Amino acid sequence: MKRVALVTGGARGIGLGISSALLREGFALAVAGTKPAGEVAEPLRELAEQAQPGREVRYFQADISRREDRERLLAGIEAAFGALHLLVNNAGVAPQVRTDLLHASEESFDRVLGINLRGPYFLTQAAARWMIRQHQQDAAFAGAIVNVSSISAEVASVNRGEYCISKAGVGMATKLWAARLAEFGIGVYEVRPGIIATDMTAGVKEKYDQLLQQGLCLQARWGTPADVGKAVALLARGDLPYSTGQVLVIDGGLTLPRF
């Protein structure tokens, strides 16, 4: 049976690692992003080359913070694939400027929470309604939702408070949707990455290179998008069938309490 996955922000960084992992699992793939298709042509070409026979990769330009874009995105996936089995809420942004809590702006707060929390929350609502309809039409239908958050859901960074709050909210959203959707056989999970080497973290590479050398993580290296992709693939396969609502922390031991 062909299974269909939607990965938001799936053409770059962590999302690209997730997209690649899901293609290896045999999913057909819908990738959503804010850039025009021409600007992500190269990663989309690479993804298409990884797709298994009969498993298409489609790109949809959409800003998940906008309701009309979310509606258009899901309508486009239904027209292209006819089904949706897995939603990976990965798209997210950092503050455009890191600013101390005492000086942070409401505009930055609204932007970050709109993209990182409100958008995924309501995209999940719409996707869940569609998954429920599919479950009602076919008792064998198995749906799942994976929220990609961050260790910043628990680790405070006072110069990017809006980001931390948005990721903490994603953690609670995971619990809420897991509780609401369990009766329909839809598992909901959170994957919480630590320090991952992407374009988003490129600006702080030197800082974290030094911290890693000083023992910040038990596993003294940067995480990779592939590390996160493998965690999402595990959930997508259904390898943790009795674990809805749980968090997988992919941080090399960074948040493990130590003396």
Residues marked active site are found at 163
Phi/psi region, residue 196 (left: phi>0; alpha: psi -120 to 50; beta: rest), is beta
- Residue 170: name the closest of 240, 234, 113, 108 by CA: 113
For residue 242 the two structure tokens come to 């009795």
Is-contact 115 64, C-beta < 8 A? yes
Phi first, then psi: what are they for 10, rounded to 5°? -90, 10
Tell me the C-alpha distance between 177 and 172, whole Å: 9
Q: Do the Cβ atoms of 109 and 97 come closer than 8 Å?
A: no
Handedness of CA 35, 38, 44, 46 (dihedral sign): negative
* CA separation for the pair 28, 54 (Å, rounded): 8
Q: d(Cα 45, Cα 57) in Å, to the nearest integer?
A: 9
Helix, strand or coil, per DSSP, at residue 59:
strand
Which helix (H) or strand (E) segment holds residue 202: the answer is none
Residue 5 has φ and ψ, to the nearest 5°, of: -120, 145
